[in-house]
Structure 1
Amino acid sequence: MEDIPAIILQIFVLLLLSKILGSLFERVKLPKLIGEILAGAVFINMIIFVPEFSTLMKFSIEGFNSDTTENFFHIMGELGIVFLLFAVGLETKFSDMMKVGKTASYIAVFGIAIPFVGGMLFILKDSIDFNAALLIGAALFGTSTAVGVECLRNMEAMNTHEAKLIVSATIIDDILCLALLGVIIGAIKPNANTTTIIINAAIVAAFVIFMFVFISRVKRVSSRRRKRHQRSAVRERVDDSNSPACACEEPGPMGELSSVGLAIMVCFGLSAVAVNIGLAAIIGAFFAGMIFAEFKLTIPCEHNFNIITYFMLPFFFIWVGMELQMDRIDPGILPLFSLIMAVAIATKYVAGYIGSKMGKLPNDSAHLIGVSFIPRGEVGIIVATIGLSTAVFTYDMFTSIILMALVTSILAPPLMTHAYKRMEKNRTVAIEKLLTDEEANQ
């Protein structure tokens, strides 16, 4: 128990650093996750290079780097990412997913297929085996929804047709990414062979299909409950003229605190199911969130759950940053990092552009959508941590993927801002030209 005071001090220092650095990045319109990762990196490197700081923090770098899942920050990081995926699921209603059009589907499918093939081509390098190439492909095919949407919000462009396409495409992208990630995790296991990979793919497909069928059933039940509640509220208003006018919109009998308790239980329950059938915990957490997305009125848990996520999520990015230890980074990773960066940017941009053109969008819109899919953010980071924890990635590969995720997240905002302004300018010019031509014809 003597370690508890030290851990409390470490948590305080890390959260303070992450808050300061995260706020600084938010001020310049960049994702705060970058600041949170840097907070972990600053802390761990001060432990390594400043012995007095290590003594003050009572932090053992040998214990942190040991191959054990008992590491406190490792556990907190894993829990943080489980809560994140539940929160993402809460924003992904089954009904919304059914509404996405052909163009969004084209963008999502190309956005996964082309980067994944680009990542798999790394197998041509002598130092990268098949499993590592699989995970590089997985790190490249995921898009950071948070970065793209935040940029659109900052530009006040969320109501544009392009923004709606981007959001719709990321809904499909998230589902496909998680399903494919489940298959890939099974494929990189030490005892994996063709038979086990096929069985694992079948398990993933069965789990995903079952969850979709279950969620569609949940949606119908939720819809019936809502209609009964509304009819009951209408009758009460007829019987009692003093009843509140908004009674039909009141939530069900379950309060918010009991709702969030149920949500946490279901989140961990489905995460445990996913882990025990060979998938990642985050897949179960995501589907748990999708279930509760259908009950936002009768089982209101979003507000309180997001508070928990707000507290837990920084631990994941802090933990990732703590893995970036300067004494372990080889300057020779620059060629590998540069190649991964080039493939990451080119494949996602081309995928978004081609998908948009197949949906018959103009060049400016296709360009905006293409650059909006460049950031990897948390998706690439999750895959990098999986690669390192399973010993599929060398430390150089892990570092290159983390840096790729950070750099693409930093590049995306200015690229999207430039693309959006150019699109709006060209549209304004086109409208003015059209009005001028109409006046001339009159």
Structure 2
Amino acid sequence: MARRIGSRYTAHQILGRGSAGTVWLGEGPDGPVAIKLLREDLSSDQELVGRFVRERTALLGLEHPHVVSVRDLVVDGNDLALVMDLVRGTDLRTRLDRERRLAPEAAVAIVADVADGLAAAHAAGVVHRDVKPENVLLDMQGPLGPGGSHRALLTDFGVAKLIDTPRRTRATKIIGTPDYLAPEIVEGLPPRASVDIYALATVLYELLAGFTPFGGGHPGAVLRRHVTETVVPLPGIPDELWQLLVQCLAKAPASRLRASELGARLRELLPMLAGMPPLDVDEPDTEAEEEAAEDVPVPGPVPAAGEPVRRRGAVPLVPGAKPSDSNRDTHTSMRVPAPDELAGGARGTARAPRAAGAPRPGSARNRAVTRRRRLTLAVAAVLLATAGVGTWLATSDDTPTPPEDTHNSTPAVP
């Protein structure tokens, strides 16, 4: 059923739902539009409404071929809505779900498009803060690019910032999707343009590998890895591309490239990637991380018996949400891990390099191996001590009378 949005727009059909609101297919003075209607609890927040109005100029001024433009911001009664260009196509998450991973040429072409869009946004002083495949739309009506890629456009500018009010997040919350969060956000620092570069490099890694470099398992473990781990190499890609990924996934924000530099460098690599098939790589095991977080409650539904466990990709943090909301909008808040959780050990184990088959430090398997080793050493010490006493008794001329309290005669185990 149609509903009015302000005085200029009519929403006809729901295209999808997410944690921040509902996306409608609508009609405006200039034709079809996409209308993102924010949740009622957001629209009733006067602080957020004020921020919404203040961001109007910056968002409306963001025009670029690789950005889904915001045409209008509507504040009308209980309605708080962003009116955006309508893109005839799909999102990058849908393509990943279908193909699992892309050929390097197509992956690099898509990410280069997004980098160009981010460069324009950053030049205008706008940080996206939630770059992920769900927020990359593919225009199916335009001409094909390198590797058969469709033109990519970045959407949902401003939504994370609008929701991230001090009263909502304070100093203990995070806005974003854990798989793509830069380390400085996890550590509570203010988000700057470099967080978008880190997230986009994570998306590129996922397009190539079929999984994110630090994702999988409990959300707390995902955040910990961003801070403590180095990225696992991807075999089969040119060294120039790998070095570019490593630079943009650097823990230090200042070490990452700017968006304009990333886009230009990626396009320079396209000729050497032509014709390369998708990579054939194995997804890392997250069993140890899940064991390390075994006592921590996991938000959301528990998989039924026999139901496959999702090992990689975005982790839903809203109870009852699914990783694949129909419009892929998963802006959420969550707790920042305490310093001891980020420091390592049983509650903060980084996936450090280790020999094949060796248990991960801090995991349940590692603790079991350690207990067995200690027990073996204790038994060996007792046997050695007993053998020593027996030898002494056998060789001594004056055999002493055994003491009455035999418990006190047992050698101490070191």
- Point out the structure with the larger strand share: 2
> Taking CA–CA contacts closer than 8 Å with sequence separation of 6 or more, which of the two structures ends up with the larger relative contact order?
1
Larger radius of gyration: 2
- Point out the structure with the larger helix share: 1
Q: Same fold by TM (over 0.5)? A: no
